[in-house]
Amino acid sequence: MIILMKCLDEEKYVPRCLKHFHDEPFVTKIIIIDGGSTDFTVQECKKFPKASVFIHKWLDWYHDNEVCQSNIALSYIPNNELAFILDFDEMMSDELKVKLGEIDKSQSIIPSDGAACFSRRTYEVIRYEDSHHAILDKTGWPLISHQIGQYPDYQMRLVRKNYQMKWINSPHHHLIGHIDEQFFDADIIHFEKDDYRDRVRIEKKWALAQARRRSLGLEADIFESSPKATIAEYYNPEAWVWEI
């Protein structure tokens, strides 16, 4: 099974994330699409024998860049191969590792043109007093404060690649071109950012994408996100200077 990942300036998260699952028997290869990191993300990834990194520049100004990166990543998966999608701010629960091992051994669980959704838990993390920064444990992961958001928050993460598959919608994706779809209660563990300011920057990028669509006269995405009051101004096209 291939683990498929995307990244941009994730240097500090790479060691703890890849180390967490790199040596699992079901992991044959890790394919990472880097958006043109300016830190040591690529170098850190290359320290892991199973990891291959391919650089495709992230275009901030383009409204569908997020989904484009996901389709570029999917294009690196051979036809009929299984690929599990993971982000660098996520880890696999023990139950998820067991389930992926079962699927890898019994390939028929995910048929041709098949895909699967997995439950995901999101946690706020414990931060230093009067600080944006999380307190990390000895493995480098943040200490958990409490669960937030929806649960089980099923995410489409496992695909058996076929040439008709394509992601649509930015930033929250929807997969087309698959026939069979299954749901598994085996948690992906998702952490809020170690530095909370990184989360704010991400939400502003989501706002940028939607503002760009409006500036071009395009319809809203399928799952258009609602602006938080603190960043609502960034959903207005006039708040941005468009550069190509």
Q: Which pLDDT score, from 0 to 100, does residue 207 have?
A: 87
Element (H, E) at 240: none
Q: Letter for the amino acid at 223?
A: F
pLDDT, mean of residues 117-143: 97
The DSSP secondary-structure symbol of 134 reads B
As beta bridge partners, residue 92 has: 188
What is the model's pLDDT at position 221? 73
Superfamily of the domain at 2-195: Spore Coat Polysaccharide Biosynthesis Protein SpsA; Chain A (3.90.550.10)
Question: Could you read off the pLDDT of 75-112 as tens digits, one per residue?
Answer: 999 999 999 999 999 999 999 999 999 999 998 899 98
Q: Which two tokens stand for residue 43?
A: 């170098």
* Mean pLDDT along residues 113-132: 96
Percent of the chain with pLDDT over 70: 99
Query: What average pLDDT does this structure show over 118-145?
Result: 97
DSSP 127: B
pLDDT level of residue 243 (50, 70, 90 thresholds): low
Q: Where are the beta strands (DSSP E) in the chain?
A: 2-7, 29-34, 51-55, 82-85, 90-92, 114-125, 144-148, 155-160, 166-168, 174-176, 180-191
> Region 173-183: what's the mean pLDDT?
91
**Count of CB atoms within 10 A of residue 181's CB?**
12
Q: How confident is the model at residue 193 (pLDDT cuts 50, 70, 90)?
A: very high
User: In whole angstroms, what is the distance from residue 101 CA to residue 40 CA?
Assistant: 31
In this model, does residue 217 exceed pLDDT 70? yes
Contacts of 138 by beta carbon, 8 Å cutoff, 6+ apart: none
Cα–Cα separations (whole angstroms), residue 155 to 129, 176, 210: 33, 14, 22
139 token code pair: 């493995």
Mean pLDDT for the stretch of residues 23-42:
98
Task: Note the pLDDT of residue 33.
Answer: 98
Query: If you search the block for the tokens 């890790």, which residue do you land on?
Result: 30
Element (H, E) at 137: none
- Domain boundaries, given as residue ranges, for the chain: 2-195, 197-239
